[in-house]
């Protein structure tokens, strides 16, 4: 059983590498429609509860079978103990064909064969997990920026000169060289990713206390200014 599971994981990993999924973005709005297929058993979003299957808030990055209040098959719990963590790649494989990834799972669902549908669905679900965008400190699971930010906030054009001054505060920890030891480099981030990430810290959706504190006192204009500065920093 264990060796079979590891074989599948290895297969998943090699597929992930060859398919280049991390480059592809799903559409969360379309994904919300795909989710209708899941709704008879799973809830997601504010107030979601465990039903036939577990709720899916915070699913990205969590260990398989790790919610003590949910019902799982022995197979899924064992897979979690063996190291199965829900990432974009593992969720994609599971949704495509649940029994291929976890034998005897309780999820009696034939799977979603369309790769685009799965991408859209995962982009939608991604919005209900802690790290909603693709950042260096997270697993590269995020596909797109599903978020609840006001488009007006994203539309703010930052003053990069102000951003340079504000960034000096970031540089005490995040190195200008972009080095990534213990604290991630943040040079060259796409503007939208940067803004979404900082607002997620500000709203305390992302967990890190230092970043929650730093982002917590930045205005929308200041976040835009920082994003404008870091975008072009190599």
Partner 1 sequence: MNFNRRLFLGTGVAAATTLAAPNVFAAGHGKPRVVVVGGGAGGATAARYIAKDSKGAIDVTLIEPSRMYYTCFFSNLYLGGIKTIDDLGHSYGTMAAGGVNVVHDWAVGVDRDAKTVSLAGGGSVTYDKLILSPGIDFVDGAVEGWDLSSQNAMPHAYKGGSQTELLKSQIAAMPQGGTFAMVAPPNPYRCPPGPYERVSMVAHYLKANNPTAKIIVADPKPKFSKQGLFQEGWANHYDGMIDWIGDDFGGGNVSVDPDAMTVTIDGDVTKVDVCNVIPAMKAGRIAELAGVTDGNWAPVNAADMSTKADADVYVLGDASQQGDMPKSGFSANSQAKVCANAVRGALTGSKVFPAKFSNTCWSLIDTNDGVKVGATYEATDEKISKVDGFISQTGETAEMRKATYEESEGWYAGITADMFG
Interface mask (CB under 8 A) for partner 1, residues 173-202, using x and -? xxxxx-x-xxx-------------------
Site for partner 1 in 200-229 (CB under 8 A): 209-210, 212-214, 216-219, 221-222
Report CA torsion sign: 172, 175, 181, 182.
Answer: positive
Check residue 81 for interaction with partner 1 (CB under 8 A): no
Closest among 5, 12, 7 to 96, alpha carbons compared:
12
Cβ–Cβ under 8 Å, residues 180 and 138: no
Q: Residue 107 in contact with residue 38, Cβ under 8 Å?
A: no
The helix/strand/coil state of 2 is: helix
Binding mask 115-154 for partner 1 (x = CB under 8 A): ----------------------------------------
Q: How far is the CB of 184 from partner 1 (least distance, A)?
A: 8
Q: Which is nearer to partner 1, 56 or 197 (CB)?
A: 197
Nearest to 60 by CA among 39, 44, 47: 44
Rounded Cα distance between 192 and 143, Å, is 13
Nearest distance from C-beta of residue 31 to partner 1, angstroms: 31
Binding residues vs partner 1 (CB under 8 A): 161-162, 165-166, 168-169, 171-177, 179, 181-183, 209-210, 212-214, 216-219, 221-222
């Amino acid at each position: 059983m264990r060796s079979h599971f590891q074989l599948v994981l290895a297969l998943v990993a090699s597929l992930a590498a060859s398919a280049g999924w991390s480059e592809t973005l799903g559409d969360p709005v379309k994904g919300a429609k795909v989710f209708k297929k899941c709704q008879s058993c799973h809830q997601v979003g504010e107030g979601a509860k465990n039903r036939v299957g577990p709720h899916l808030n915070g699913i990205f990055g969590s260990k398989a079978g790790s919610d003590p209040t949910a019902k799982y098959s022995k197979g899924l719990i064992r897979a979690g103990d063996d190291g199965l963590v829900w990432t974009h790649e593992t969720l994609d494989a599971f949704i495509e064909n649940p029994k291929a990834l976890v034998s005897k799972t309780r999820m009696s669902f034939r799977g979603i064969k369309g790769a685009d549908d799965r991408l859209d669905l995962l982009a939608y679900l991604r919005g209900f997990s802690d790290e909603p965008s693709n950042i260096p400190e997270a697993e590269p699971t995020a596909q797109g920026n599903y978020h609840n930010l006001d488009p007006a906030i994203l539309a703010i054009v930052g003053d990069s000169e102000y951003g340079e001054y504000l960034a000096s505060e970031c540089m005490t920890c995040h190195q200008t060289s972009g080095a990534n030891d213990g604290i991630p480099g943040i040079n060259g981030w796409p503007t939208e990713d940067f803004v979404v990430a900082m607002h997620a810290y500000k709203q305390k959706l992302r967990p890190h206390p230092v970043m929650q504190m730093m982002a917590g006192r930045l205005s929308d204009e200041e976040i835009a200014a920082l994003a404008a500065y870091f975008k072009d920093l190599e």
